[in-house]
Amino acid sequence: MSVKSKGLDHVAIAVKDLEKAISHYRDVLGLELAEIEEVPEQQVRTAIFGHGMGRVELICPTSADTGVARFLEKRGEGMHHICLEVEDIEATLAALKAKGAPLIDETPKPGAGGAKVAFIHPKGNHGVLVELRQGPKP
């Protein structure tokens, strides 16, 4: 089994104050705000800048007992993860598991924009948390 990625979907940046961060990325850096969404399953609010591949996603926890909240407490604001778009997330997870990759999620979960997502632990990716994303069918 091989792992096949379509490429970089987005880079996620953890922030403490979503509205303040939106203002900076939109008004200072000049990025186009595409959407704001709450993702209850991940306990975050997101702000997406840009369209298609290579977007910037700001993530802000909606609860103090989440992974993103712990990340902010420990490391402060900054890059949280990169996300790769895949054709078939279930097949990708099976192939990664067969290759010994340390999966955080062995089955996909609901993500922003109706996508299915799963994470690979940073210890298996040279210190980088990697999200896999399979977008909804058009």
pTM, full prediction: 0.90
Give the pairing of strands 33-39 and 44-49: antiparallel
Handedness of CA 137, 32, 38, 61 (dihedral sign): positive
Task: Give the rounded percent of residues in the chain with a pLDDT score beyond 90.
Answer: 86
pLDDT score of 1 more than 80 = no
- Contacts of residue 130, Cβ cutoff 8 Å, sequence gap at least 6: 81, 82, 83, 84, 119, 120, 122
Q: What is the dihedral of CA 18, 22, 25, 30, to 10 degrees?
A: 170
Joined tokens for residue 32 = 């186009």
Asked whether 13 and 57 are in contact (CB, 8 A), the reply is: yes
Phi, psi of 49 (to 5 degrees): -115, 130
Give the pairing of strands 5-14 and 55-61: parallel
| Burial label, 7 (beta-carbon count in 10 A; 0-12, 13-18, 19+) | exposed
Q: pLDDT tens-digit profile of 21-78? A: 999 999 999 999 999 999 999 999 999 999 988 999 999 999 999 999 999 999 999 9
Domains of the chain with bracketed CATH: 5-134 (3.10.180.10)
pLDDT score of 105 more than 60 = yes
Handedness of CA 57, 129, 87, 111 (dihedral sign): negative
Q: What is the mean pLDDT of residues 100-111?
A: 95
Check residues 113 and 68 and name the one with the higher pLDDT: 68
Asked whether 120 and 103 are in contact (CB, 8 A), the reply is: yes
